[in-house]
Structure 1
Amino acid sequence: MGNFDFITADWPQIHNDCARAESYVITDPRSACIYARRSVETLVRHLYFLLDLAEPYRDDLVTLINEPAFRTGTKAPDVIVRKLNLLRKLGNTAVHESRDIPRSASHNALRELFHVVVWAAYNFSTHPDQVPVGKQFDAKLAAQSAPLPREAAAALIDKFRAADERHREELAARDNAIAELEAERTRLLAKLAAAQAAKTQPDDHDYKESETRDAYIDLLLHEAGWALDNPRDREFPVVGMPNESGKGFVDYVLWGEDGLPLGLVEAKRTRRNPEEGQHQAKLYADSLEQMTGQRPVIFYTNGYQHTIWDDGAGYPPRQVGGFYTADELALAIRRRTARKQLTHVPVNGDIAGRPYQRRAIAAIDHSLDHKQRSSLLVMATGSGKTRVTIALIDQLAKAGWVKRALFLADRTALVNQAVSAFKQHLPNTPTVNLLTEKATDGRVYVSTYPTMLNLINEVDHAARRFGPGYFDLVVVDEAHRSVYAKYGEIFAYFDSLLVGLTATPKDQVDHNTYRLFELEPGVPTDAYSLAEAVADGYLVPAQSVSISSKFLRQGARYDELSEAEK
C-alpha cells in the first residue's frame, strides 16, 4: 500500500515514479526528490498532450509549468502552480547539490507531490471518485513502503539530465504517429468527460498552502547561501516592540559573520498580500537596530511575492525575485554611508568626452541621486551609446555604487563588439563574455538575453550563481526591441539599477518600454537625435538610393511561378 495507489489504473507510469519517490523518502532523500520531480514532469507533459495545449517556445519544465496556456487550459489554481515549481526546484537541488539532502526535503517533496496528484487526478483522471480528497499525505505509510531496488546516485542523475534529449526523441517518434495520437486523445477526452460528469464528491482537500510557503522560503534562502542551521536564524526573540509585553519573534534573521543582523524576513500567509507584513517588519528592524546597533535590510514575503526594503538607504519597498546573499547584504549596508554623491565624481573624458555624452551621464546621475533606479537614453546610432555606458560604469564603480554590471544585447555580434569596447577602455576591469566564459568571475558581464535567462535558471551545488542581488547595474542595449514578452523575467528577477539604450526616436519608443524604465511616455532620461548629431557635425545625414526590381517593374503571374513559389 502507498499514498499514490489511487492513480495506478489511469496513470501507471506516473504512479511508478511516485511510488519510487515514496520508497526512497527515508533511505535516500536525494532519489526521492529526483523521482518526485520526474513524476511532475511526466504529469505536466501528459496534461499538455491530453488537453492539446500549444507547447511554449522552450521545452523545459520551468517554461511548461509557467506558460499561461497551461494555467488557462488546466484551470490550475495558483497554489498548484506554486507546488509544481517547488517540486521542480527541489528536484533540481537534489541533482546539483553535492552535500547530503536532508530528510526534511524529501518529506516536503512527497507531501507536495501528493497534493499535486490529488488535484490532477480529481480533475483529469477517469476515476475521480477514487481520489482521496479528504485525506492528507500519510508519512507513516510512506515510511513503511518497501524500498524498490536502489540505483546508483550517479546513474539517477545522468538519467535525469538526459530526460530532455529523450523527450526530443520521443517527440520525433510521436510526429510519425500523429493520427494515432489524435485518435487516442479523442478517446481519452470522451472517457474523461464522462467520468468527470459523474463525480459525486466535492474537492474539499486541504492543500496546506502554509507548508508550501515555508518550504519555498527556506528553499530560496538556501539558494542564496543561508544554511538556517542555527536556532537564532528562526523565530528570533526581540524586545522593544510596541505591544503589551514589549516582545516579538522575527520569522528569519540573516546574521553576518560579525554577529550583527544583515537582513530579516517577515513571512505572511499565502492568501494575504505580502505588503501587510511591511509595518510588522519595520517594527522588527527597529528592535534589532536598538539591540545590535545595526539596521538590517528588510524582506517581507508570502512565499511567492517578495519585497525588499532598504529604508536605511532611503529607498522605498520594491519587488524582488528572491533573497540576497550575505556578501550582497553586507555591501548594501556599507553603501548606506560609503557611496558618494554622483555629481561629485568626475567622468572619464577620454571615454565619453563629447558634450552630449557628458549630458547623458549627468542626467542618469541626477536620477540615481534622487532615488530613481531606472533610466532610458535615446541616442542616434553612431553617437556613442556604448562609450557612454562604459564611462557611466567606470564612474559608478569609483563612486561605490556598482561592483558588478551586466550588459545585455540581442545578438552575438553586439556582445562581442561590447566586450572588445570594455576591454579597450577599461583594461583593468575584468570583463566576461558569458557566451564563451560562463564559469569566469569578473566585474562587467556581457551576454545575450537567452544565455542570461538560462544562467538565471541554473542552480549549482544548491546555490544560484546569479542571484537577484548579484548585479548592481543592468544595461539593456537596443531597449526598443520587443524582447520583454519573452525575456521580461530577466528585468523582474535582478534587483539592480537599470539603464536602457536605444536609437529609436523618442516619440516612436513604445509605451511598454517607457513603463519598464518607470518613465512617462515620450520623456526619456536624456535624448540626442540624429538631427541634432548632424547639426553638431558628429554624424552625416542619410542618403537615399532608389532601386527597382523585376517584380516591381513587371509584376508576377501565378501560372509562371514554380511549385515552391506558389
Structure 2
Amino acid sequence: MVQADKAPQRPSNFAFLAAQWPNIFAEALRAEDYALLDPRGSLLYCRRTLEQVVDWLYQADVSLRMPLKDDLNNRLTTADFQVVVPSMVRDKMHVIRKLSNNGVHGNQPVSTQISLFALAELFHTAIWLATFYAKDPSLRPVPTSKFNPQVLGPKPATGVVRLSKAEAEKLAADLEAKDNALKAAAEKESDYEARIRALQEEIEAAKKANAKIPDEHDYTEVGTRVYIDLYLTEAGWNVEDPHVREFPVHTMPTLAGTLAGSGFVDYVLWGVDGKPLAVLEAKRSSNDPHMGKQQAKLYADCLERAYGQRPVIYYSNGYRHWLWEDTRYPEREVLGFHSRDELQLLVDRRSQRKPLAKAAIPAGLADRPYQHKAIRAVAEAFDTEARRRALLVMATGTGKTRTIVALTKMLSENRWIKRVLFLADRNALVTQAARAFKNLIPGSSPARLGTDDAAGSRIHLATYPTMMNIINASSEGTLIGAERRGVGYYDLVIVDEAHRSVYQKYRHIFAYFDSLLIGLTATPHSEVDRNTYALFDIENNNPTNAYELSEAVAEGYLVPPRVIDVPVGFMRTGVRYADLTPEEQDE
C-alpha cells in the first residue's frame, strides 16, 4: 500500500519511485547500495523489489487475478498478467527472478557484472511501472532516462565481507516471514478492503490517462550475453570453457564465391566426443533474433565441413530463443536451451530414428481398426508431414488410453522418443493411466510424479498442478540434477482430456517443454479463448484423427446414450434470498 512520501536519501536511478511507491523505492535503494559492496545481497534485494512491484500490481490493477498457486513465477505467467504487462517487461522480470535465484541459492561467487545487469533490468521494469501507473503526470519518469551505474559510487576495496550463500538464504527467509506477517496484519484491518477498492479506482483512472501518452522509453539498452549465459548455465553448460564462446571457423563463404573466409561463432556447444552439437548466434537484445538465422546456418555449415556432424542451430537476443533443426523441422521458439544429453539425442535421432509408415503397431494393446487408424494418422503427421503436434478425437469408451499406450510403445521402439510425460487434470485419470502403462507394457515402470520414485522411469505421469510446481521449482533452482526438468527433458507430452484445463492456467507447460505433443479428447473446442485445435497447431474442426460417438455406435463398439431426467429443485423452482441461511446470504 502507498505510504507517505519519502524523499531519496542520495542520488538514485529509482528516485522517480519515491513519491508514489516509497516501499518499492526503499527496496530498490538497498539493491543499489549492495550492488558493488555485496552482489549477492544486491540480487536478494532486486528480487524483493520485483516481488513488491508485482504484489502492488495484483493489488492495484483490477484486471489481475491471483493464480491458484501464489508464487512469483506463477504470478508472472498468468494469462491476465501477460495481457497487462508487455512481453519485453515480463522478460526482464523473469531475468531478475532467475539471476536472483542463482545468486542467492547458487554456490558460485556473484560478480558485480551480474548485480549491475539485474539492477539495470529492475530499472527498466520500474520505468514501465511509473510510466503506466503514475497517478500524476509529474511522477512519470523522463522517457530518455537511462540506468547510470555511476550513482552507485566507486567500487569498494578488496577484502569486503560479503554474504555467504547460507547467510543470504537465511536473510531472504527472515525477510519473507516478516513480509507475510505484515501482509496478514494489514488484511485484518477493518478498512483494508475499502482502501484496496479506493486504490483500484484511483489506479484505473491513472491507467486511462497514461495510456493517452506514448511510451517512448528505450527498454533495450542492456546487453545480451549475460542472459544467454544464464540460460546456458541453467541447462548445465560451462560458459567459461574457452571452446564454447567465440569459436573460430575458417570456411566461411566469401564475395569471390570461395570458402576461404573466417569468422567467430558466438557459442558452440560440444558433445563428449568432441563434435559440435549446437551453434548459437547472439544478437543484441533490441534486435529480432532472426537477424542471426542465416549467420548461424553458415557457421553450422563450417562446423559440419570441419567435424562431419551438423550441429543444431540456435539464435537468440537473450530474451527470445529459437531452435532450428534444419535437417528436418522448421524453426520453433523455445524457452531455454537443451542440455548436452538432450542435444546428443536430437543429433543421434537423425540416423537412429526409423520410419513410421511401415512400423509394426504393437500387438495386443490397441487392436481395433479405428485405434490402428488413429495410430497411423499420428505416425504420418510426425514422420511424413514432419509435424510436432497431433490431436486425437475419440469418443469416451473407445480406448483412448490403450491407443496412446500402443502409440507410445511404437514411437519408443522406433527411436523417436525416450522420456514421456502423461498429463491429466485429475488424480483418478493419472492413476488409471499409470495402471494401463504398467499392465500393457510390462517393465515400463511408470511413475506418478509427486507420489512415486521417478528414478529409472522413462514414463512419468502427473496432474497439471503437479507439473507446474515441478517446472516452477526447476526454474527457481530448487530442483537440480536428475530432478530438474529442463525444456528438452521430455520427448513426448501426452495431454489427456485436452478440451479442458489447458488454456489459460496450464498452457505454459506445453510452451515450456520442447517435445512432441499429443492431445486426447472426446469433445474439442474451437472457441477463440478455448481453442483445442489452436493449442495443437491444427486447423479448426480438422483433428489428426477423429472417431466420433455416432461411428462407435454404428459399428457396435458403443451403445446409444440414454437420457435420464433428474429433477433439480434449484433449476425448477429457483431460490429466494429470504429462504437462505445467514451464511448462504453472506456467500
What's the TM-score once normalised by structure 1's chain length? Answer: 0.86
Structure 1 range deviating more: 283-292 or 149-158:
149-158
CA distance in 1: counterparts of 2:382 and 2:204, whole angstroms = 57
Give the corresponding residue for 2:4. Answer: none
For 2:185, the equivalent position in structure 1 comes to: 173
1:457 pairs with 2:468: no
Residue deviations 1:200-246 (CA, integer Å, cap 9, x gap): xx9987655341x3322221111111111123212222122223471
Provide closer, same or farther for how the CA distance between residues 366 and 557 of structure 1 changes in structure 2, counting only shifts above 3 A: closer
Q: Judging changes above 3 Å, is the alpha-carbon distance between structure 1 residues 557 and 413 closer, same or farther for their aligned structure 2 residues?
A: closer
The answer to which of 37-46 and 409-418 deviates more is 37-46
Letter in 1 for 2:73: V
**Distance change in 2, residues 1:326/1:239 (3 Å):** same
Determine helix, strand or coil for the equivalent of 1:471.
coil
Q: 1:307 Cα deviation (Å)?
A: 1.5
For 1:185-224, list aligned pairs within 5 A: 207-211=219-223, 213-224=224-235
Structure 1 counterpart SS, 2:507? helix
Report how far residue 98 of structure 1 moved: 3.1
SS of the equivalent of 2:191 reads helix
Q: Which residue of 2 aligns with 1:561?
A: 579
Q: Does the 8 A contact of 1:25 with 1:143 survive in 2?
A: no
The secondary structure found in structure 1 opposite 2:265 is: strand
1:490 matches 2:509: yes
- Preserved CA contact (<8 Å) 2:525 2:533: no
Matches within 5 A, 1:417-436: 417-436=432-451
Confirm whether residue 137 of structure 1 aligns to residue 156 of structure 2.
Answer: no
| Deviation larger for 320-329 or 353-362 | 353-362
Matching of residue 17 in structure 1 with residue 54 in structure 2: no
The reply to whether residue 90 of structure 1 matches residue 60 of structure 2 is: no
Q: Look up the equivalent residue of 2:579 and give its one-letter code.
A: L
SS at match of 1:419: helix
Aligned residues: 557
1:483 and 1:27, CA in 2 relative to 1: closer, same or farther beyond 3 A?
A: same
Deviations 1:276-329 (A, max 9, x none): 3222211111111112211100011222222211123x2111222211111111
Once the two structures are TM-superposed, the CA of residue 412 in structure 1 deviates from its matched residue by 1.1
CA displacement 1:68-100 (0-9 Å, x = unmatched) = 655766xx6544332222111111222432333
Higher mean C-alpha deviation, range 325-334 or range 42-51: 42-51
Shift of 1:271: 3.5
| CA pair 216-398 structure 1, distance change in 2 beyond 3 A | same
Residue of structure 1 in register with 2:343 after alignment: 329
Give identity over the alignment, percent: 43
CA distance 1:305–1:509, shift in 2 (3 Å):
closer
**Deviations 1:2-55 (CA, angstroms, capped at 9, x unpaired):** 645736853554344334434443454332222211121123323444555633
Distance 2:201 2:380 in 1: 61
Give the letter aligned to residue 138 of structure 1.
Answer: Q
Matched, 1:36 2:54: no
Q: CA deviation at 1:380?
A: 1.7
Q: Distance in 1 between matches of 2:528 and 2:215?
A: 49
Look up the SS of the partner of 1:366 in the other structure: helix
Equivalent position of 2:310 in the other structure: 295
Q: State the Cα distance separating 1:535 from its structure 2 match.
A: 3.5
- The answer on 1:401 being equivalent to 2:416 is yes
Larger displacement relative to structure 2 (217-226 or 7-16):
7-16
Q: Is the 8 A contact 2:498 2:524 kept in 1?
A: no
- Match of residue 340, structure 1, among 354, 365, 377: 354
Please give the alpha-carbon distance, in whole angstroms, between the structure 2 residues aligned to 1:80 and 1:509.
26
Query: Are 1:231 and 2:245 an aligned pair?
Result: no
Residue ranges of structure 1 left out of the alignment (5+ in a row) = none
Cα distance, 1:424 vs structure 2: 1.7
- In the alignment, structure 2 segments of 5+ residues that lack a partner are 1-9
Residue aligning to 2:489: 470
One-letter amino acid matched to 1:328: E
Q: TM-score, normalised by structure 2?
A: 0.83
Q: Which residue is equivalent to 1:442?
A: 457
